[in-house]
Structure 1
């Protein structure tokens, strides 16, 4: 059975608060017609920030609107296995209480961290989760036994905690995502590497965004690009890539604020750095390059709530130019296109894009609440006998029992 849509839940809580459609729509900067369509299931909530605004105004948790555990999985999935093991590893506080006398080889830690980053970018989240506790224990032990000037130990620690934070933030474990990002940032100062410092700060920005601390995220991202900008050189591709990635996330933040001009300005800064890099790459695990800038143009248009611009931007994206293994990046384009097509009521095309995203990165689709809501919206308006592929996809995604 299809569960209640987000629109139906919004209508229920709006009435309980005694708000008219016109009043609530005005408070979130939307039209009464838009809210009416959402509540009737004609269209979906098109931005995550709108869900957060609605939950605040209706005095309910986001979970009450989405029907899924927001704290554990803001993108709509169930609690992931292995979280408690990660929490236990983080609570060892090796630096204060000591740990194993065995000193892991730094080269092995960095190889394992690289494998975890590769799995993360391929949306193999369960595999990364299994590896994180051991990685954390080894990185902690290596840093404990390192000297104050041991740059390699600090770099190993940063890479380990960055990938841990990426995964935990993606899965919505906000407290642990913030803790791991903060530890990476603290160790980055010992690394004497601007690229590592940028990597760590990028992850703090991401964790802040996931907890809806948009002001702090924006301030930190902009301070970091201003600090790194004068250091950028063509012979340091990692630093070029990290700085470019920070401009991209800053563009998404501007779009979340509906500041179109600022978003486009920041995309232009990232594009200049992509031109300096000269090719699509994956330095410092950023996936940065001209194609990733093009992908972010699609995402920015989607964040601005402009399906036409998203479709136009997608026409310039050549996914085959991406380095091998960046499956979650590929899936994101299809997810943004599915949203845009569903907004245009082109449900067959939206379904094809959802299926393409699932083929590329099934775990990424399973973690995306917008994808699930698109499915609910299209199922509600599907004609009998049509949409068999959509129904099968919705069943796999847990939208249908």
Structure 2
């Protein structure tokens, strides 16, 4: 893939790099990706960000590359928190291999402490504990830790290892035979699946939801059932299936209303399933469907303070900010991006789509109209070169 020095290339620059390597004109690539040539031109020059998973999927498919080739390495490799977390990835890989051949080790860390750190998107604290815990835990504890492992590895840029951890969770849950943990483990597997796989993630989530549906009289099973429908909704949106996405959201909403908000323990596997979480996913799904106004309307009905955990709030604030940027509310978007950064700073610095949107806002602004908040957001997103005087 394209190599960079200093700050990462924005996604449009990666698209231009691969388009030129493939010998395609903008007109040809635009046609293959299902967009207009002026739209693609704005993406390549950084004036329009790539914010939807579906757009990334279309461009990656048309260029015959992976989404990772377009988004680049997750975050700044010189960032101390990212570097500290990534240093433990070889040990995680070794632990997963050893487990596969039956060499388990004695767990030494506290599962609850890891779950809390994971919920804060504190990858630098989580990563050193994962080798021992993935390499030795059993039962429901292993499934929970695998979930933290999957989203940590994905955000650090190791999706293949994330899928290995997900497969481990599924095997353990199937051995347990508990429908609630089967649902959670399969949710984790859907989470680990690459976005460039159209249809399969939504179908898997639906299939497992149908499998555990006879048991939803159990509140824990109902939580897993609802989470599966939420993920199916988002994946259906990526597949441009709006009707299916909304049907999944309705099914999840009904389950959430019957349960109410989770207690202080955040429910099964600390997934925090309930009406507020459904609201978060509704915003993300409407945004993915290309409906920023509907996303903002949904956001108005959400009280994020009801779920005071970073791995729910930070993506929500970033989604709201992205929707604001799409409807021309740039100043509000920047302020809301800064809320996302304050809530989950390590997560924020690893999100290429966040960086892209902030970059496009700054490129649209005139040099003498850059506000203090714009400069702060650019610095947080590793875009310092855009604000140099």
**So what's the TM-score if we normalise by structure 1?**
0.84
Q: Distance in 1 between matches of 2:272 and 2:101?
A: 32
Asked whether the 8 Å contact 1:208–1:214 carries over to 2, the reply is no
User: Residue 300 of structure 1: which of 262, 277, 285 is its match?
Assistant: 285
Q: Distance in 2 between matches of 1:129 and 1:4?
A: 26
Asked whether the 8 Å contact 2:10–2:355 carries over to 1, the reply is no
Pick closer, same or farther for the CA change 1:55–1:168 going to 2, 3 Å. Answer: same
User: Residue 91 of structure 1: which of 78, 94, 97 is its match?
Assistant: 97
Asked whether the 8 Å contact 2:74–2:156 carries over to 1, the reply is no
1:137-159, Cα deviation, whole Å (9 max, x unpaired): 331xxxxxxxxxxxxx4223333
Mapped pair 1:120 → 2:118:
yes
User: Residue 68 of structure 1: which of 69, 73, 92 is its match?
Assistant: 73
Of structures 1 and 2, the larger Rg is shown by 1
- The residue number in structure 2 matching 1:148 is none
Question: How far has the Cα of 1:113 moved from its partner?
Answer: 1.9
Report 1:2-401 matches (<5 A).
Answer: 4-15=9-20, 17-68=22-73, 80-93=86-99, 96=102, 98=103, 112-139=110-137, 153-210=138-195, 212-233=196-217, 236-281=218-263, 282-284=266-268, 285-322=270-307, 324=308, 326-385=309-368, 386-400=370-384
Q: Distance in 2 between matches of 1:44 and 1:114?
A: 38
Question: How far has the Cα of 1:262 moved from its partner?
Answer: 0.8
Question: How far has the Cα of 1:350 moved from its partner?
Answer: 1.1
- Match of 1:254, SS state, is helix
- Match of 1:123, SS state, is coil
Pick closer, same or farther for the CA change 1:135–1:336 going to 2, 3 Å. Answer: same
- Match of 1:229, SS state, is helix
Asked whether the 8 Å contact 1:3–1:400 carries over to 2, the reply is no
Q: Distance in 1 between matches of 2:190 and 2:104?
A: 30
Range with greater deviation from structure 2 (84-93 or 243-252):
84-93
Q: Distance in 1 between matches of 2:74 and 2:313?
A: 26
Asked whether the 8 Å contact 2:163–2:192 carries over to 1, the reply is yes
- The residue number in structure 2 matching 1:146 is none
Asked whether the 8 Å contact 1:5–1:377 carries over to 2, the reply is no
Q: Distance in 2 between matches of 1:277 and 1:134?
A: 35
Q: Distance in 1 between matches of 2:70 and 2:160?
A: 22
Question: How far has the Cα of 1:29 moved from its partner?
Answer: 2.4
Question: How far has the Cα of 1:303 moved from its partner?
Answer: 0.9
1:84-124, Cα deviation, whole Å (9 max, x unpaired): 1211222223763x455xx66xxx86xx2222122111111
Q: Distance in 1 between matches of 2:148 and 2:69?
A: 30
Asked whether the 8 Å contact 1:251–1:263 carries over to 2, the reply is yes
Asked whether the 8 Å contact 2:233–2:285 carries over to 1, the reply is yes
Pick closer, same or farther for the CA change 1:156–1:321 going to 2, 3 Å. Answer: closer
Q: Distance in 1 between matches of 2:313 and 2:71?
A: 25
Q: Distance in 2 between matches of 1:245 and 1:226?
A: 13
CA-based RMSD:
2.5
In structure 2, stretches of 5+ residues that fail to align are: 1-5
In structure 1, stretches of 5+ residues that fail to align are: 140-152
